[in-house]
Structure 1
């Protein structure tokens, strides 16, 4: 096992974000050796997430630029720092933005997945510093969400690393376990705990909603109603478990909640998932839920932080609203379970991969996702793994 006492700085290529909304610039960066509790990882492939887009556009992010974005990836451990025991050089790992130290009250409780020992902070989790610098000038480059996968090598705290053992999962599938796919499937699996034979309504059939639908199907839901204004989403929705569709543009004077109640004999859906980030849609999802036990799970984030308007009388009658952070998933415990489900075809990931390209084309991936032309784009660091149809 190579500890940082003999590891040396590595110079490699990284896509550096220097200003909000500007194209990323390919730069040679120096990646420092891992310190105690840290792992240096050679990235095999990474994916682009809407969270990357959000921060890329953010003009007033604290200590943001220059930075290396990216937080969905898979890689191989190149070296480890002192006090790292759970992974070794050569292990395949998925870095994740959510820590699991395994020792704090939250990590030891089944009620929480928010590690209280290592809450999110800019920089490395334990000291707030960065392991990146521009090779030409030595200027520090900030890391992002404790991962920074838009680089050929990155340094990640061991609390943010999940080892994948056993049978090999294809890298482009393993990559998607690092953020969105886990979060959204987990919302149905862990947060809502969807029950067999239940009815689910999913508001928004982007990558979020489609994964929620798949997670609901995996949990045994028999009716999954997809709500979206884009009819093109309906066909892929069918492949991932959606059984019925509602287009808000095609229902005249009715509201979506009225239509869903009609479809369910006046009862409403057992579980509603808001996957858009609109407070008005959150309220409509709540109205679509069943009196007595209906549960509404909010996954979308409203940028204005506006409050949700929900009548207190309806809360009193048994409905509830909950949030979902990383789908309630504890990374080290649950990601290997999901990886196993992928291997046994219980969880489908290939339908979410709509584009593939090499690292040098990463700005094209930003354009595609910003223009809502893809669900997930896999970016291969060496460019040699691109598939036909990218």
Structure 2
């Protein structure tokens, strides 16, 4: 099996301990399922959540990699991996409110596969809502019906035969951006003290979040398909525009897959975006689309992490066994912890600037200009010195 498989995630480097819980609202596919990462109070002997929460997600990953017979193998090898956070840990109140990050996963992923970056950002004083999309882009997801609580699973869907991929993905990315908007509305309700029933009945009261989320400081973040989802979310809905008390001020796009964003929308993206790219995924055409946005807004930044691959932004890069790292193409030449450090520090510097945070994240501002170890501005094939 290529050696013992384990998930070598580290605790966040920020000053806060991190808790997490799952939230499901609604009894149809139009509801929401997300994992919340948040600063929590210390708790001795806290339970840590499973990284892959259900066997159905193993089956989804197996189907996606065209290794359907490997679902039991994935479950056996990875089913016991846990995330180093406090499951349903006691929320740490904050009188000024924590800024909010809404996180959108990539194609074929689900809400827990970016736990490394989500818990890292939460440790620096953010509430991170990692959404699980229901547009058939997750490897698997589900909702519970109202009648009997029966689970309805939503499988991953390939592009239908005979349909152009652009139009199929465009429809998905618009649904995804609308789901991000609904997460903001949900967190508005929770923060204002409205009673929001959690279908999953977790041992965590959402009422603890009342008054502790700063909805004037919101960003959308995502990887790959989630990266372009974050860009579209900036223009999707009026409450994501300047002037609304709950507004998204910027986006952070990790190796964004720009393909599904229609040309007519580019002029509407007026807010700053931080594009953090891997060395091995982007094309000149994709970089040109990012530069269309940076040419309109000098605060939009494009950087590339050298030695990284597309899955370097996911938790797969932290798998210690060789087999699954090979299956998922998860490892570049850069140490994964160094890659996470660059990603999180660049994101924190960008968020300090555009969310007007009173932190010390400006110490990493050089990263936003592509200055630093293993980072360059724009892309290697665009960079004059490479």
Same fold at TM > 0.5:
no
Q: Mark the structure with the bigger radius of gyration.
A: 1
TM-score normalised according to structure 2 size: 0.28
The structure carrying a bigger helix percent of its residues is 2
